[in-house]
Homo-oligomer: A and B are copies of this chain.
Amino acid sequence: MADAQAASQAAGKSVPRTRLFTPGPVEIPVRVLRALAQEPPHHRTDAFRAVLRRVTESLRWLHGTDGEMFLLAASGTGAMEAAVVNLLAPGERALAIAGGKFGERWGSLLTAYGIAHQVIEVEWGAAVDPGAVARHLDRDPGLAAVFATHSETSTGVLHDVEAIARITRERGRRLVVDAITSVGVHPLPQDAWGVDAVVCGSQKGLMIPPGIATLSLAPWAAPLIEAGRLPRFYFDLRKARKSAPQGETAFTPPVSLVLALDESLAMIREEGLDAVHRRHRRLAHAIRAGAQAIGFAVFSSSPSHAVTALTAPAGIESSAVVKRLRDVHAMVVAGGQDRLKGKILRIGHMGAYQREDAGAVVGALEECVIALGHAAGGGVAAALTAWERA
């Protein structure tokens, strides 16, 4: 399906399988593709209710929460909107942490719903200083909630949500976290850390195609959605809450994607959560070390294990690397977004990636650097060594 394949086919060349190293949607495991190809049951049958209950339980386990888990037919932004319209009352003010395209989205959402808010601007590539969050909250006791990002997909940054949660909890403020690219990648034990709501999407660490977004609400945060006064209908979690005891969703669920999620969550359970987190740490360390060995620099000062943002060696355009990876290696990575357009490349490694995938992408990067006129070597060895040590 990909561009490189079409070009190669036209030229009569052999066609490599396209590999996605994108920061979502990610590659879909064959087991999940097979689940997608099932004849889906109707959603108002006991058979489907059993699947939905199992998926919900597994997601609560994955999030480390005893609270409610809401499944929405939407992309991740839909669940971010659900957090804003359900957890805030008009007149309440909020604090948003920016620092990237997705952190900035919290501010845009708050603006769209007329919520007065402050924004902590963080240099793109850096993590927020938790002390700055504390100072904002202490200066303005009217800031009812903090909207934060765990893994910022646009910069490859991991923010210290554990420290931020300590600060919001001590001060009795709410914390809402976009964990779209961190669930299934980094530990984020919601109840233990004290995060009121966590937002996730299906096409990242959950390893299925896009189309499901989730919002998990900590047990103590349950009353918030009844008290909210903002306009809402499709994302009204009061409706979802009413349907949940029957094993149903408020509106028709994306049945086939739920079957796929059932399968991918089974994969995560089989591997074990600690093992999944460890594999992602190794993938990140291996790709970083391999890339650095051949002249790339890691863009983020607090790198995420979900996506690695790199700046190209001096004299090489990152966009040329993205293009060559696609055209020659049939590997799809992402460039920079917004103010980082043309300045970085981003390699996603969330989901079912293995050591061999880390070696493959670093090897391809190395070929690109050489083809673009630079001496390079030792990338793959550095990656595989880092894998063993991580």
Binding site for B on A (CB under 8 A): 1-3, 5-6, 17-18, 20, 22, 24-25, 27-28, 33-34, 36-48, 73-78, 81, 108-109, 112-114, 201, 203, 209-211, 230-236, 251-257, 332, 334
Picked from B27, B73, B74, the residue with its CB within 8 Å of the CB of A39 is: B27
Whether B211 contacts A47 by the Cβ 8 Å rule is no
**C-alpha gap A93/B309 in the complex (Å):** 50
How many copies are assembled? 2
Residue among A44, A201, A234, A332 facing the most chain B CB atoms (10 A cut-off): A234
**C-alpha gap A315/B234 in the complex (Å):** 40
A201, closest chain B residue (CB): B252
A203, closest chain B residue (CB): B252
Picked from B25, B43, B77, the residue with its CB within 8 Å of the CB of A255 is: B25
Whether A256 contacts B209 by the Cβ 8 Å rule is yes
Neighbouring B residues of A232 by C-beta, 8 Å: 112
Whether B2 contacts A45 by the Cβ 8 Å rule is yes
Residue among A22, A108, A252 facing the most chain B CB atoms (10 A cut-off): A252
Whether B42 contacts A234 by the Cβ 8 Å rule is no
Q: A77-B234, A77-B251, A203-B255 are in contact. List 9 more A-B contacts (CB 8 A).
A: A3-B45, A3-B46, A33-B37, A73-B211, A74-B234, A209-B257, A210-B255, A211-B254, A257-B257
**C-alpha gap A334/B45 in the complex (Å):** 10
Known interface pairs A3-B45, A231-B114. Does A37 touch B39 (Cβ–Cβ under 8 Å)?
A: no
Neighbouring B residues of A113 by C-beta, 8 Å: 231, 233
Whether B233 contacts A77 by the Cβ 8 Å rule is yes
**C-alpha gap A254/B39 in the complex (Å):** 18
Neighbouring B residues of A37 by C-beta, 8 Å: 33-34, 36-37
A332, closest chain B residue (CB): B42
A36 vs chain B, min Cβ distance (A) = 4
Whether B1 contacts A48 by the Cβ 8 Å rule is yes
**C-alpha gap A87/B341 in the complex (Å):** 34
Whether B209 contacts A78 by the Cβ 8 Å rule is no
A173 vs chain B, min Cβ distance (A) = 23
**C-alpha gap A112/B230 in the complex (Å):** 9
Whether B210 contacts A81 by the Cβ 8 Å rule is no
A258 vs chain B, min Cβ distance (A) = 9
Whether A75 contacts B251 by the Cβ 8 Å rule is yes
Whether A332 contacts B231 by the Cβ 8 Å rule is no
**C-alpha gap A251/B2 in the complex (Å):** 20
Neighbouring B residues of A3 by C-beta, 8 Å: 45-47
Neighbouring B residues of A114 by C-beta, 8 Å: 231
Neighbouring B residues of A253 by C-beta, 8 Å: 75, 210
